[in-house]
Amino acid sequence: MKVDIVGDIHGCYQELMDLLMKLGYQWSEGNIYHPDNRQLAFVGDLADRGPCSLDVIRFVYHVVIELKQGFYVPGNHCDKLYRYFLGNKVIPQHGLETTIAEYQELSTQEQEIVKKMMITLYEQAPLYQVIHKIDTVIAHAGIPEKYIGRNDKKVKTFVLYGDITGETLHDGRPVRRDWAQHYQGSHWIVYGHTPVLEPRFVNHTVNIDTGCVFGNRLSAFRLPEEHIVSVHSQQPFIQEKFS
């Protein structure tokens, strides 16, 4: 089994298409496929902040739900958008406002379709994806070894938000513990959530959120090859978003 795991997309649909081209994906009668029989996986945070969030949702729905040729785990932004679509009261900030603006441009009929896509994607997704054949676990903000196999609320908070302490930094960002430093497992943990300028490899874990929506790159981690493939972002570069 060969898998290409894609980092946080955040509405950067054009960069996603560029990346898939670079990875060798092709289209036949509107369906994406890879001549080497590779599959796609997504670490979550499909929408918010970028220009084409709804196109990213439609594409991931196509791959994961319609073709059943890929894997998707939700990110914190997916969780919030899902709750918005359910009619819950969520504050349209931190990028959600851009996705809502796109949504409000649609006809009622188109709105129903994309809303249903996101709800289905989210409800059918596991909190984290274990892929035994490539000895890999995919979780949006990562996962410590002791949580693999569990699905409780504590695990949900961790995989969506990371190892947060509840405190915030002076710029408002949450304080996070560095769980990867303590990871001693043998399987790959592939995750995103915290934008980094270069993919960050620590103890058989890799953060592949190379901050595309903040102007850096969109990256994929290929397994079993253990190669990174990236494309340049077309968004303006915002240095302070990178840690």
Rank residues 131 and 218 by Cβ distance to Mn ion and give the closer one: 218
Residue with tokens 């043998």: 186
Rank residues 45 and 163 by Cβ distance to Mn ion and give the closer one: 45
Stretch that binds Mn ion, among 7-15, 142-150, 183-191, 230-238 (CB under 5 A): 7-15
Count of residues near Mn ion by CB under 5 A: 2
Q: How many CB atoms lie within 10 A of CB 170?
A: 5
> Is residue 48 involved in binding Mn ion (CB under 5 A)?
no
Asked whether the beta carbons of 120 and 63 are under 8 A apart, the reply is: no
Helix (H/G/I), strand (E/B), else coil: 126? coil
Rank residues 63 and 141 by Cβ distance to Mn ion and give the closer one: 141
> Is residue 8 involved in binding Mn ion (CB under 5 A)?
yes
Question: Among all residues, whose Cβ is closest to Mn ion?
Answer: 45
Rank residues 44 and 144 by Cβ distance to Mn ion and give the closer one: 44
Smallest separation, CB 77 to Mn ion (Å): 6
Smallest separation, CB 168 to Mn ion (Å): 17
CA distance 6 to 178: 22
Smallest separation, CB 215 to Mn ion (Å): 14
Scan residues 27-46 and list those touching Mn ion (CB under 5 A): 45
Smallest separation, CB 88 to Mn ion (Å): 20
Nearest to 45 by CA among 112, 95, 120: 95
> Is residue 79 involved in binding Mn ion (CB under 5 A)?
no
CA distance 192 to 44: 8
Stretch that binds Mn ion, among 4-12, 22-30, 198-206, 222-230 (CB under 5 A): 4-12
> In whole angstroms, how far apart are CA 65 and each of 68, 123, 141, 180?
5, 11, 23, 31
CA distance 49 to 13: 12
Rank residues 4 and 45 by Cβ distance to Mn ion and give the closer one: 45
Exposed (0-12), middle (13-18) or buried (19+): which is 105, by Cβ within 10 Å?
exposed
Q: Which residues bind Mn ion (CB under 5 A)?
A: 8, 45
